[in-house]
Chains A and B, each alone.
Chain A
Amino acid sequence: MSQIFSRRSGTWVKLTLLGALGFGAGLVAIGRLLTDEPHDQDEAVEQPVPFSHKHHVGDIGLDCRYCHSGVETRAVAELPPVSTCMTCHSQLFTDQAMFAPLVRSWQTGTALHWQRVHALPQFVYFDHSIHIAKGVGCVTCHGRMDQMPLTYRKASLSMAWCLDCHRSPEKNLRPRDQVYSMTWKPEGDDDALGHELLIQYGIDKRRLSDCSVCHR
């Protein structure tokens, strides 16, 4: 009887199996891609007007609440009406090309369609006002907006990410007057202050990881 398989056949078999494995992994990756968010983390989002937080917050030093007026009282921080932009831009840079959509919108009364940067699925209910009230800074989730020429998403917004803070909020609590600060850093041992604030704000940690807090 002669050999059915050459000496090297073993290697071939191993390679084939490896290939199959790779193929499977590839399929999974594709599936993952299909169910991914429209905009990636850290990827600047195309907008009708190239609005720069860096300029408005960093350079001019506008307060977040000047535009996002809902943030302290409502679930959504809200985008300002065009009229708010017009308080300055009825005079400033109106001739520049990149402002054309804004001016057109103001004149014709047709709405601007901004792309949502922080999109949550419909079964997740996030409320800005409570986070602000309990001393969670803007930076904590949105990152250094004062350094963002074009706005992008700093956080993954995955459930694991939310839970990370909901399980130990003390890491991210700050005094109420520092909530909107882009640069505030707790001096010394941060957890100490965190625990202090936890009590001061009366945060009930027991329910922070309940499903009902975010899902209805």
Chain B
Amino acid sequence: MTRIYGYMAQFDRPESLLQAARALRNLGYTRLEAHTPYPVEGLAEVLGIPPSRIPRVMFAGGLLAALGTLAIQYYSAVFNYPINVGGRPDASWPAFIPAALEMALLGASLCGVVAMLRGSGLPRLHHPVFDIEGFDRATRDAHFLVVLSDDPRCDEDSIVTELRALNPLRVGRVPA
């Protein structure tokens, strides 16, 4: 018998998907995943997705970039090769700020993007959910709720009936 990624139920509207998700959570399911054409408010909380660490990562990245740039400038202009430029001091702090600022913004953004991709498991070109029949509509008007098979509460026989109880459009199993 083939390994199972999970069991999906398709809904027509985000509201009904939201209700279904809530119901499953009440039933004690923890490993849920939803696929919707556009973000649905509150869904993340219902599914118990931990809040993102992206902001912290970006702050760290920005700070690091800024300090790094300042360090390079200070080292090169004061220690490594101090040169008299227009009679200005070697450590011309005000002149060092702009580059540092720009690099801070760049660093933050880069870290943010990386964090976002890592946090949302991208890039990943091949994924079981793509095998779901009609999944291509997930980016248009279809709303899918998936109970992952590794959910401790998940049980081969009962899950399908429990999903049916949420009166979705369809119910199906998703091979891994």
Residues of A within 8 A of B (CB): 1-7, 9-10, 13, 163, 209
Q: Are B130 and A3 in contact (CB under 8 A)?
A: yes
Q: Are B125 and A1 in contact (CB under 8 A)?
A: no
Size of the B side of the interface (Cβ < 8 Å), in residues, is 13
Query: What is the predominant secondary structure among interface residues of chain A facing chain B?
Result: loop
Distance, CA A10 to CA B131, complexed state (A): 17
Give me 11 other A-B pairs in contact (C-beta within 8 A), A2-B130, A4-B130 excluded.
A1-B131, A1-B133, A1-B135, A1-B136, A3-B126, A3-B131, A7-B126, A9-B125, A10-B126, A13-B123, A13-B125
Distance, CA A7 to CA B131, complexed state (A): 12
Chain A nearest CB from B141 CB (Å) reads 14
Residue among A1, A4, A6, A9 with the highest chain B CB neighbour number at 10 A: A1
Given A1-B130, A3-B130, A209-B81, A10-B136 contact (CB < 8 Å):
no
Chain A nearest CB from B100 CB (Å) reads 26
Residues of B within 8 A of A (CB): 81, 123-127, 130-136
With both beta carbons as reference points, the residue of chain A lying nearest to B135 in the complex is identified as A1
With both beta carbons as reference points, the residue of chain B lying nearest to A3 in the complex is identified as B130
Q: Are B126 and A1 in contact (CB under 8 A)?
A: no
Q: Are B124 and A1 in contact (CB under 8 A)?
A: no
Residue among B124, B126, B132 with the highest chain A CB neighbour number at 10 A: B126
Chain A nearest CB from B107 CB (Å) reads 22
Distance, CA A5 to CA B130, complexed state (A): 10
Residue among B124, B125, B131 with the highest chain A CB neighbour number at 10 A: B125
